[in-house]
Amino acid sequence: MAMGQGAAPASAGARKDGSAEEIARQVWQSRWLYVFLLPTVILYSAYTIWPIVASIRYSLLDWNGFDSDGVFIGLANYSELASDPQFWNAFGNTLMFLVLAVPLRVGLALVLAVALNDPRLPFVRVMRTALFLPVVTTGAIVGVVMRFVLDPTGGPINVALLDSGLLERPVNFLGQASLALYSAVAIWVWKWLGVTLIYWLAALQTIPKDLYEAASIDGAGHVEQFRYVTVPLLVPFLIIITLLTAVEATNVFDLLLTLTGGGPFYATEVIDIFVYRQAFAANIPRLGYASAAALFFGACIVLLAALQMAVRWQLRRRAGEAR
């Protein structure tokens, strides 16, 4: 995760001149390294890289999945994608989901982590387990259960709101197009908060205790300590945790499929569901089109991540110059 850029140079590669002989010698010298890498390289090429390469080919085909292979149609799938309002709706929903859910999850988890990091607090372990419960629950189960919990008539939330007189009519959390995406975001944050909480707790543990003591001696209160000690030291973690969370936020398939199926009227249809609908749920699957959508979106994510990395690198360089 936190890969330092300058890895420890050890056995090989101390001196590099370009000659083939020299390269061969060095490769031979570090043969054990390659043996160690072998399992990962094999597994990774087979199950991660090869599928991506194959998908690129599929995305150039008109293929219903019934025939053993499709018909080559060049970039037609991509140009159809560009003018498909439902694809852009799904794209927009995914971005909306990211923009709403990621800060909410990262922020809320930070607040909770700071609170739960307090050793004087009773029942910390039970509370952590409670918050972690939904994480270990399959998305499909969460989807089914939450449909009951949010139900407009029998669901406990609406029953409580109606009985207490706070509401006149039940709220249709999942059935109303304008609300469904927000409900989905809330449930997703609820489900995955525990993971981010763990990340933050781990990050907080890396802060040396003596820093707080020093700050305390200097007369800093709790708020000041948080502001001037905790926050600055957490910034690098913020970037990693946000990235991790954002990646997870693009993978909400099983939860949304059981929760709303992408509805009502595509209000919660994210890219995953769009792809699934094209590839499997339609009467006549369109595997090529689905692959094109998945790849296009994947490329956007990689681009986004690269952009973020570049900005980070720039910031670090500027900080280095300032020093």
Partner 1 sequence: MTEDLKPVSPAALGPDLTRRAFLYGTVAAGAVGAAGGPAFAQAAKTIEWWDQFAPLVPLHQKIWEEFSAKNPGVKIAYTQMNPADMMQALQLAFRSKRAPDIHSILTSDLSVTNQLSKAGWFSPLDASFNADTPFLKEALLEGMTVFNGKAYSFPIFSFRQHETSLWWTKPFMEQAGIDPAAGPKTWDEMRKAAQAMTKGRTYGLILPLQFTNRMANHVLDLAQVAGAPGRFDWRTGAYPFGSEPFVQAVEFLLSFQRDGSLHPASSSLDARQGRARWAAGEAGMFFDGPWNSGVVKGSFAQVLDTLGAASIPLPSSGQPAFTYHTPPSGEFWISSQCEDPAIATKILQLFTTDAYYVGLAERMDQPPLDLSAVDRANVHPTYKTVVEGFKKVVRLAPEPLIKNPNVAQVYAEMKPVTPGVGEIVQGAMGGAVSNVKATLQQYADKLTAERDRAIKVVKDKGVQVSLDDWVFPNWKQGEDYTASHYKT
Partner 2 sequence: MMASERKTIRLRWGTLLIAALLALLCLLWVYPFLWLLSASLKEPLEIFSKGLNLIPDKAQWENYARAWSTAGFAQYMLNTILVTAGTVLLVVLHCALSGYVLGRYDFYGRRLIIGILGATFVIPAGMTIIPIVDLTQDLGLLSSRWGIILALAGSGQAAGILLYAGYFQRIPKELEEAAVIDGASFFTVFFKIMLPLAGPVTATVSVLTFLFAWNSFLIPLVFTFGSPELRTLAVGMLAFVGTNETDWPGMAAAATLSLLPVVILFFFAQRYLVEGFAGAVKS
Binding flag, residue 138, partner 2 (CB under 8 A): yes
Neighbour tally for 200: CB within 10 Å? 23
For the bound state, the minimum distance from the C-beta of residue 194 to partner 2, rounded and expressed in Å, comes to 8
d(CA 199, CA 226): 18
Tell me, residue by residue from 239 to 278, as one string, x for binding to partner 1 by CB under 8 A and - for no binding: ---------------------xx-xxxxx-----------
d(CA 258, CA 261): 6
Q: Which does 140 bind (CB under 5 to 8 A by kind): partner 2, partner 1, none?
A: partner 2
Tell me, residue by residue from 245 to 274, as one string, x for binding to partner 2 by CB under 8 A and - for no binding: --x--xx-xx----------------xx--
Contact 291, 73 (CB under 8 A): no
d(CA 110, CA 120): 18
Q: Judged by CB under 8 A, which of 25, 28, 37, 313 binds partner 2?
A: 37
Torsion angle of the four alpha carbons 310, 315, 317, 322, in this order, in degrees rounded to the nearest 10: 170
Dig out the tokens for 303 from the structure.
């681009």
Binding flag, residue 281, partner 1 (CB under 8 A): yes
For the bound state, the minimum distance from the C-beta of residue 294 to partner 1, rounded and expressed in Å, comes to 16
| 91, HSE (Cβ side, Cα atoms, 13 Å) | 17
Residues 51-80 that bind partner 1 (CB under 8 A): 64-68
Task: List b or e across 15-33, with b for residues whose CB sees 16 or more CB atoms inside 10 angstroms.
Answer: eeeeeeeeeeeeeeeeeee
For the bound state, the minimum distance from the C-beta of residue 205 to partner 2, rounded and expressed in Å, comes to 4
Q: Give the DSSP per-residue string, 201-235.
A: HHHHHTS-HHHHHHHHHTT--HHHHIIIIIHHHHH
Dig out the tokens for 220 from the structure.
């800093």
Q: Is the preceding omega at residue 264 within 30 degrees of 0, hence cis? A: yes
Residue type (1 letter), 178: S
Contact 103, 188 (CB under 8 A): no
Binding flag, residue 88, partner 1 (CB under 8 A): no
For the bound state, the minimum distance from the C-beta of residue 69 to partner 1, rounded and expressed in Å, comes to 10
Number of residues that bind partner 1 (CB under 8 A): 34
Binding flag, residue 178, partner 1 (CB under 8 A): yes
For the bound state, the minimum distance from the C-beta of residue 187 to partner 2, rounded and expressed in Å, comes to 10
Binding flag, residue 50, partner 1 (CB under 8 A): no
Tell me, residue by residue from 69 to 108, as one string, x for binding to partner 2 by CB under 8 A and - for no binding: ----------------------------------------
106 vs 290, beta carbon nearer partner 1:
290
Q: Please, which residues have CB within 8 angstroms of residue 260's CB and are 6 or more apart in sequence?
A: 174, 180, 184, 267, 268
102 vs 142, beta carbon nearer partner 2:
142
DSSP 71: E
Binding flag, residue 86, partner 1 (CB under 8 A): yes
Residues 144-183 that bind partner 2 (CB under 8 A): 144-146, 148-149, 154, 156, 159-160, 163
Q: Which does 266 bind (CB under 5 to 8 A by kind): partner 1, partner 2, none?
A: partner 1
**Residues at the interface with partner 1 (CB under 8 A):** 64-68, 86, 147, 151-154, 169-170, 172, 174-178, 180, 260-261, 263-267, 280-286
